[in-house]
Amino acid sequence: MIHRIATAAATAAVAGLLVVPPASAADEPTARELLEKCDNGTDSCVFHPEGEPEYFQNTSELVGSPTFNCTELPQRMGVSWSDTTSESNSLGLSMSTSFGEVFKVTFKASYGHEWKESHTETQTTNIDVNPGDAGRVFHGPKMQKVKGTYELHFEDKFYDHYIWYVPMEVTGPADSQESTITQDTSPMTDEEKSANCG
């Protein structure tokens, strides 16, 4: 008998699968309970990716420290920064586990390149700042998202079922980093002038 963890991502029927009506919370394992059994209590645990990875540009965030031009002349100023982007998933679970390893092996076999758990970008960005202005640098990393479903088979019934399905969406830094680096200048506030210009 098979069962599928009920989540918003699992509403679509899978061909050939019997979808058992959701049980009460007390009779239903959590996604964490199931995935902790992946290759650690199951006969088999497989991740089935759905389609190609989705690539997108992550939101640009402030990096480094703002630079302030307290002189009376335009200044070219360097902002040194480092930004690390790490993987995450729709279930909020750590991927440094057996099920995480299953995902990474499947990802490489399916798409031909390694999954990146994290990526750090470090550089110094030059920015032209006019007198009385503050300069800021923003970084938006290129990301990839993979959707799929874990299929777990148990030798003995686990919560009254031999087979369970757990949908999950995993996001991480893209293999080829095409990040966006932007800069902005604006007049210093009175507080910034007082704190940085003496």
Give residue 174's domain range: 31-197
Q: Could you tell me if residue 20 is inside a domain? A: no
142 touches 58 (CB < 8 A):
yes
47 touches 103 (CB < 8 A):
yes
d(CA 97, CA 111): 21
CB neighbours of residue 67 within 10 Å: 21
Q: Could you tell me if residue 9 is inside a domain? A: no
**Structure token pair of residue 195:** 């704190």
Q: Could you tell me if residue 23 is inside a domain? A: no
- Residue 2: strand pairing partners: 163
pTM of the shown model: 0.78
- Beta strands (DSSP E) in the chain are 2-4, 44-49, 54-57, 61-68, 75-86, 88-89, 118-129, 133-140, 142-158, 161-173, 180-187
Q: Number of structural domains, the chain?
A: 1
pLDDT tens for the chain, 198 residues long, are 455 553 333 333 333 343 444 444 567 899 999 999 999 989 999 999 999 999 999 999 999 999 999 999 999 999 999 999 999 999 999 999 999 999 999 999 999 999 999 999 999 999 999 999 999 999 999 999 999 999 999 999 999 999 999 999 999 999 766 889 999 999 999 999 999 997
Q: Could you tell me if residue 161 is inside a domain? A: yes
Give DSSP secondary structure letters for 152-184.
Answer: EEEEEEETTEEEEEEEEEEEEE-SS---EEEEE
DSSP code for 10:
G
Q: Could you tell me if residue 1 is inside a domain? A: no
Q: Could you tell me if residue 17 is inside a domain? A: no
> Largest alpha-carbon pair distance within the chain?
77
Q: Could you tell me if residue 19 is inside a domain? A: no
